[in-house]
Amino acid sequence: MAILIDASTRVICQGITGAFGALHTRGCLQYAPTIVGGVTPGKGGQKDENGLPIFNTVAEAVRATDANATMIFVPPPFSADAILEAAGAEIQLICCITEGVPVADMVKARAVLDEMNLRRTEQDRIRLVGPNCPGVITPGPKTGAGESATDPYTKQGCKIGIMPGYIHTHVSEAPTGKAVGIVSRSGTLTYEAVWQTSNLGLGQSTCVGIGGDPVRGMGFIDCLELFEQDSDTAGVLMIGEIGGTDEEDAAAWAKKHMSKPLAAFIAGRTAPPGKRMGHAGAIISGGQGGADDKIKALRAAGFSIAETPADMGAAMARAMGVEVVAQV
């Protein structure tokens, strides 16, 4: 099952001929064979280094490949346009990896997406992940070396984005026999969490990097809701950071709607107010967005709290009451 993506997902890359687009298309193909093509306006009809077809528009790519997901690597000034082009072509899962998209562009793009979704059912809705995020991965069992597109790491998973694939563990390979869902505002901190859970004998159902920008697509609550419904997900690890009130909102929602074991970590406990900590969204301002309030709300909602970033996997295991199997 997993959430959002699996081996049947058909992914295109917008910006496939750019340096990053090309690099990560290759990286995704080395993990799982789910990339079916790409888009670069003006290069339609050509093939990329992996032999994938390139199209001028997303609509053309969808007609030719039946793509239902996209990963966007186009530069920041054109990212919102790329998101709306994908939505216009009925792509249901849009992952915008690009960092540095103007907030005003995202305010407009979100408004248009929200309006499109008003006319859609829950099943058909268009989902945006990001921008400024690592993407989404549903791990599969290891079936190959993962060194090349012809010998991918797995034939049963799907990777959309820039995360290192090999640190993830499919439930069938997890000594505890359990997999968790991971949702995070940060990229590399997510890899850290994945690594720790893998080393403790837990697998991952799906990992979603929702991104570090103040205005973005899917949030914590959207992901928690999907994980709650997913039979492969035995618990959820949520990684937040300072800035905004998304973690507090997620805590309040989870208290009412989540039955699965929950764990959380909040980055930036020691960050000074008024300083933007890398992510555009990570800033304590006007007395809001501090880590302590978030941790308090999450604890009250039943989340097991990781006291340090080295404790994320263990906090998840504690919440699930599983006997951990150290693999280091």
Partner 1 sequence: MKIHEYQGRELLDAAGVPVPAGAMIESVEAAEEAYKRITREAGTSLAVVKAQVHAGGRGKAGFVKLVRSAAEAAEAARFMLSNRMVSAQTGAEGLEVRKLLIAAGVDIEKEFYLAITTDRATRRNVLIASAEGGVEIEQVAHANPDAIVKTPIHPLIGLQPYQAREVAFKLGFTGKQVGQAANIMLALSKLYAEKDCSLAEINPLVLTPAREGFVDGQVLAIDAKFNFDDNALFRHRDIAAMFDPAEENPQELRAAKFDLNYIAMEGNIGCLVNGAGLAMSTMDIIKHEGGEPANFLDVGGSATEEAVTEGFRIILADENVKGVLVNIFGGIMRCDIIAQAIANAAKEVGFSVPLVVRLEGTNVQAGRKILEDAQGELTTMQPASDLGDAAKKVCAAVA
Q: Which CB, 57 or 117, lies closer to partner 1?
A: 117
What would the two tokens of residue 150 be?
């012809």
Binders of partner 1: how many residues, by CB under 8 A?
64
Query: Binding to partner 1 (CB under 8 A): which residues in 43-82?
Result: 76-77
> Which position among 20, 41, 56, 116 is part of the footprint of partner 1 (CB under 8 A)?
20
- Residue identified by tokens 């346009």 is 81
| Site map (CB under 8 A) of partner 1, residues 105-144, x = contact | xxxx-xx----------------------x----------
> Which position among 249, 252, 253, 255 is part of the footprint of partner 1 (CB under 8 A)?
249
Least separation in angstroms between CB 275 and partner 1: 6
> Which position among 63, 150, 278, 302 is part of the footprint of partner 1 (CB under 8 A)?
278
Q: Which CB, 76 or 88, lies closer to partner 1?
A: 76
Least separation in angstroms between CB 78 and partner 1: 11
Asked whether 182 and 313 are in contact (CB, 8 A), the reply is no
279 flagged as catalytic: yes
Distance between CA atoms of 154 and 166, rounded to whole angstroms? 10
Strand order in the sheet with 262-267: 158-161, 135-138, 203-209, 179-184, 236-241, 262-267, 304-305
> Which position among 143, 214, 225, 252 is part of the footprint of partner 1 (CB under 8 A)?
214
Least separation in angstroms between CB 197 and partner 1: 13
What would the two tokens of residue 272 be?
């000074």
> Which position among 74, 162, 179, 218 is part of the footprint of partner 1 (CB under 8 A)?
162
User: Which positions ≥6 away from 188 have C-beta within 8 Å?
Assistant: none
Q: Where are the alpha helices (DSSP H) in 66-100?
A: 79-88
> Which position among 88, 102, 141, 175 is part of the footprint of partner 1 (CB under 8 A)?
102
> Which position among 55, 153, 191, 227 is part of the footprint of partner 1 (CB under 8 A)?
191
Of the candidates 48, 52, 44, the one whose C-alpha atom is nearest the C-alpha of residue 17 is 48
Q: Which CB, 75 or 302, lies closer to partner 1?
A: 75
- Local structure of 322: helix, strand or coil: coil
| Cis, bond preceding 53 (omega within 30 deg of 0) | no
Q: Which CB, 10 or 279, lies closer to partner 1?
A: 279
Asked whether 29 and 35 are in contact (CB, 8 A), the reply is yes
What would the two tokens of residue 40 be?
């670069």
What would the two tokens of residue 37 be?
């093509």
Asked whether 70 and 94 are in contact (CB, 8 A), the reply is yes
Q: For binding to partner 1 (CB under 8 A), which residues are involved?
A: 20, 24, 76-77, 99-108, 110-111, 134, 162-164, 167, 184-192, 195, 212, 214-215, 239, 241-242, 244-246, 249, 265, 267-272, 274-275, 277-282, 286-287, 307-311, 328
The set of catalytic residues is 279
